[in-house]
């Protein structure tokens, strides 16, 4: 089995080699044989320098490398079945694509069966021959992947697929479809049809008779558990439509945040490690700026520099509403702290699990606004209501809530002081698609109501495309491309953006040419000369790209790029001219 988080699947105190060798000694091999087998296993999972990797600790490897090592351990006993439990959840698009390529290759070479568990439906569509859709412990639909995705025959499957931001849909066009209600609690008695309480097609038959297994098609390789598979077409009429004016950001609002020449350098063993290099950014009122890039590109460091969690280096400036704020949070005034808040990726680690939701939110209201007593409690209840949290939820502790409800609490805490700017760091990466849709709709509604600005960091390019008005693409601490969302997706792109977009698995089965990047993102402590992307760039110009670093220059109104290749030539190379 390959687990979701490779960092937790390995012992952080033991070198990779010792852990991998143990997998083979347990099978009866001698130490010498086990070491040779471990090296061969690392080569099999496409690790280029296995000797060096064997001598490292897990924390010294990237997420993609860690996952490859865990897969190598799982392959030690030559399994007939390889179970992958959300193996790419924490990985960016390019590394995710590499891991999936590896799984495909290993499946062909070893002839092993693969059971893939994932809430990323694009991965399931691109990798799996068959798909089973599970709800409340039961398979409600099963069949060939292409048929299930293109012609779903269970209301739950339809709900999942409609929850996705597909076909480039934007928040200005419509809200995402969601599945009302919640999963039945574990341990409670299940109804006759497990989906009946959330199904728009439910009738008295569904509430009194267990749905049969209904074959779909003539080949006998597909089924659904539903009384009304012939009425699935009626669900199309239930697609939500929200007027564009409700969700559109204003293009006329003034800038609330400006970063000028912001850099951040860490020190490790007396070595300078530049995590951010000369970043310039602007954020307008009511605007969402999406930040994308591989792990280690500087996205989270940029967010922390904005908030003052990691003070920026001397020479840079962070301006809020036109005035410069202190670099460190501790030196900022209460009003400045109140104006900028953050929603973290994992609400479990961001919320005090021993406090009730009410106490968590009251503390935030008191700290940020100075309001006390009944007034603070009234404000918390109004805030909770605006985020679809009931009074009952306020008296529960985070551990008693579902993942989606916990993330709502984290968002409520961020909005406790009516912030001007909210930084969202992967806020939906651990959520299933229906809960993700509800959170994205909630963020859109809050923005439309309060004109809050978002900095939205994510690996999920479809989510960023749906929510963001502009997108900044980062690589090795530098902004490589920034522009309006439609311009960045439509192209021409920076070669790095081009590779990121080509790696996205499509839930619609769209064929696209994958651009594979060689190697890993370089160490910021020893960046390449010239353009920092040139060692991995498939379009690098010899004698130019490795010599000088290109400036970030405007290639079209509101669209800037850091590349030596002229924009007309990029357009031709990418087949857009």
Q: Rounded CA gap, 383 and 361, in Å? A: 9
CA 409 to chain centre: 19
Please name every residue paired with 423 in a beta bridge, in sequence order, or none if there are none.
342, 455
Query: How far apart (Å, rounded) are the C-alpha atoms in residues 76 and 71?
Result: 9
Residue 53 belongs to what H/E stretch? helix 50-54
For the chain, the C-alpha Rg in angstroms (whole number) is 25
C-alpha to C-alpha distance for 389 and 154, rounded to whole angstroms: 29
Least Cα distance to 494 among 544, 557, 553 occurs for 553
Q: What angle separates helix 433-450 from helix 155-162, to the nearest 10 degrees?
A: 40
Cis peptide before 286 (omega within 30 of 0): no
Structure tokens at 509: 């089965």
Of residues 296 and 236, which shows the higher confidence score?
296
Report the pLDDT averaged over residues 441-470: 91
- Phi, psi torsion values for 564, nearest 5 degrees: -75, -25
Nearest Cα neighbor of 105 from 37, 20, 44 is 44
pLDDT tens per residue across span 22-37: 999 999 999 999 999 9
Q: Where are the alpha helices (DSSP H) in 340-402?
A: 347-350, 357-369, 373-386, 391-394
What 3-state class would DSSP assign to 478? strand
The yes-or-no verdict on residue 478 having pLDDT over 90 is: yes
Whole-model pTM: value is 0.87
Q: What is the pLDDT of residue 248?
A: 46
Q: Which of 121, 125, 182 is nearest to 438 (CA)?
A: 182
345-349, 361-365, 548-552: least confident range: 345-349
Higher pLDDT, 247 or 195: 195
Lowest mean pLDDT across 159-173, 276-290, 475-489 = 159-173
pLDDT recorded at residue 73: 92
What's the pLDDT band for 282 if we cut at 50, 70, 90?
very high
300-305 contact pairs (CB < 8 A, 24+): 300/425, 300/457, 301/264, 301/275, 301/276, 301/477, 302/262, 302/276, 302/474, 303/342, 303/423, 303/425, 303/455, 303/457, 305/259, 305/262, 305/264, 305/276
SS3 (DSSP) at 343: strand
pLDDT of amino acid 244: 42
- Read off the pLDDT of residues 418-440 as tens digits, 9 standing for 90 and up: 999 999 988 887 788 888 888 89
> What are the pLDDT digits (tens) for 362-399?
999 999 998 999 999 999 999 988 887 888 899 999 98
Q: State how far the Cα of 462 lies from the Cα of 506, in Å rounded to an integer.
A: 10
Q: Which residue has the higher pLDDT, 174 or 480?
A: 480
Kindly tell me if the per-residue pLDDT of 243 is higher than 60: no
- CA dist., res. 269 & res. 332, Å (int): 30
Kindly tell me the burial class for residue 186, based on how many C-beta atoms sit within 10 Å of its own C-beta (0-12, 13-18, 19 or more).
exposed
Give me 88's structure tokens. 């790419």
Average pLDDT over residues 477-496: 95
Query: How does pLDDT run across 251-270, given as a tens digit for each residue?
Result: 556 889 999 999 999 987 78
pLDDT-derived band of residue 577, with 50, 70 and 90 as boundaries?
A: low
- Counted residue by residue, the chain has a size of 577
Q: From CA 192, how far away is CA 211, in angstroms rounded?
A: 7
> Is the per-residue pLDDT at 467 higher than 90?
yes
Q: Give DSSP secondary structure letters for 1-16.
A: -B-S-HHHHS-TTS-H
- Region for residue 46 given its phi and psi (left: phi exceeds 0; alpha: psi -120 to 50; beta: otherwise): left
Q: Above 60 in pLDDT, residue 99?
A: yes
CB 463 within 8 A of CB 383: no
Q: What is the mean pLDDT of the chain?
A: 89
Give 326's DSSP letter: P
- Dihedrals phi, psi of 496, to nearest 5 degrees: -70, -45
> What is the rounded average pLDDT of the residues 208-219?
91
H or E, element range at 497: helix 495-502
């Amino acid at each position: 089995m390959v687990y979701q988080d490779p960092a937790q699947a390995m012992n952080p105190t033991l070198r990779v080699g010792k852990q991998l060798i143990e997998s083979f000694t347990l099978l009866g091999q001698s130490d010498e044989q086990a070491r040779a087998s471990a090296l061969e296993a690392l080569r099999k999972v496409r690790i280029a320098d296995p000797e060096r990797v064997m001598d490292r600790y897990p924390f010294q490897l990237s997420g993609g490398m860690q996952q490859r090592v865990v897969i190598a351990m799982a392959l030690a006993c030559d399994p007939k079945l390889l179970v992958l439990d959300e193996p790419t959840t924490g990985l960016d698009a390019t590394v995710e694509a590499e891991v999936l390529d590896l799984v495909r290759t290993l499946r062909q070479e070893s002839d092993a069966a693969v059971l893939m568990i994932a809430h990323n439906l694009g991965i399931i569509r691109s990798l799996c021959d068959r798909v089973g859709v599970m709800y409340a412990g039961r398979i409600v639909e099963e069949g060939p992947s292409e048929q299930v995705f293109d012609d779903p025959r269970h209301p739950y499957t339809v709900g999942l697929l409609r929850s996705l931001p597909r076909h480039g849909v934007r928040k200005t066009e419509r809200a995402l479809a969601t599945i009302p209600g919640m999963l039945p609690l574990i341990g409670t008695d299940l109804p006759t049809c497990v989906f009946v309480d959330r199904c728009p097609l439910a009738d008295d038959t569904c509430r009194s008779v267990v749905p049969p297994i209904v074959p779909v098609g003539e080949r006998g390789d597909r089924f659904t558990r539903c009384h009304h598979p012939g009425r699935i077409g009626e669900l199309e009429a239930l697609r939500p439509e929200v007027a564009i004016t409700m969700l559109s950001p204003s293009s006329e609002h003034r800038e609330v945040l400006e970063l000028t020449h912001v850099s951040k350098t860490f020190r490790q063993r007396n070595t300078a490690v530049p995590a951010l290099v000369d970043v310039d950014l602007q954020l307008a009122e009511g605007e969402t700026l999406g930040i994308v890039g591989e792990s280690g590109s500087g996205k989270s460091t940029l967010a922390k520099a904005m908030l003052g969690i990691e003070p920026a280096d001397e020479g840079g400036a962070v301006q809020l509403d036109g005035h410069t704020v202190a670099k460190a949070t501790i030196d900022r005034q209460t009003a400045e702290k109140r104006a900028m808040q953050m929603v973290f990726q994992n609400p479990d680690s961001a919320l005090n699990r021993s406090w009730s939701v009410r106490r968590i939110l009251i503390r935030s209201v008191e700290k940020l606004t100075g309001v006390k007593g009944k007034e603070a409690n009234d404000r918390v209840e109004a805030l909770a209501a605006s985020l679809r949290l009931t009074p009952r939820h306020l008296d529960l502790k985070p551990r008693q809530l579902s993942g989606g409800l916990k993330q709502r609490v984290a968002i409520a805490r961020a909005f406790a002081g009516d912030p001007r700017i909210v930084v969202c760091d992967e806020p939906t990466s651990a959520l299933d698609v229906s809960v993700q849709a509800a959170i994205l709709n909630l963020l859109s509604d809050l923005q439309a109501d309060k004109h809050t600005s978002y900095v939205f960091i994510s690996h999920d390019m479809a989510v960023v495309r749906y929510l963001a008005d502009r997108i900044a693409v980062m690589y090795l601490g530098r902004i490589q491309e920034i522009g309006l969302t439609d311009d960045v997706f439509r192209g021409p792109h920076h070669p790095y953006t081009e590779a990121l977009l080509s790696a996205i698995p499509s839930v619609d089965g769209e064929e696209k040419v994958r651009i594979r990047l060689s190697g890993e993102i370089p160490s910021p402590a020893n960046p390449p000369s010239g353009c920092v992307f040139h060692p991995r760039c498939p379009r690098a110009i010899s004698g130019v790209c490795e010599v000088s670093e290109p400036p970030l220059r405007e290639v079209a109104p509101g669209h800037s790029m850091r590349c030596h290749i002229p924009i007309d030539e990029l357009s031709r190379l990418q087949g857009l001219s």
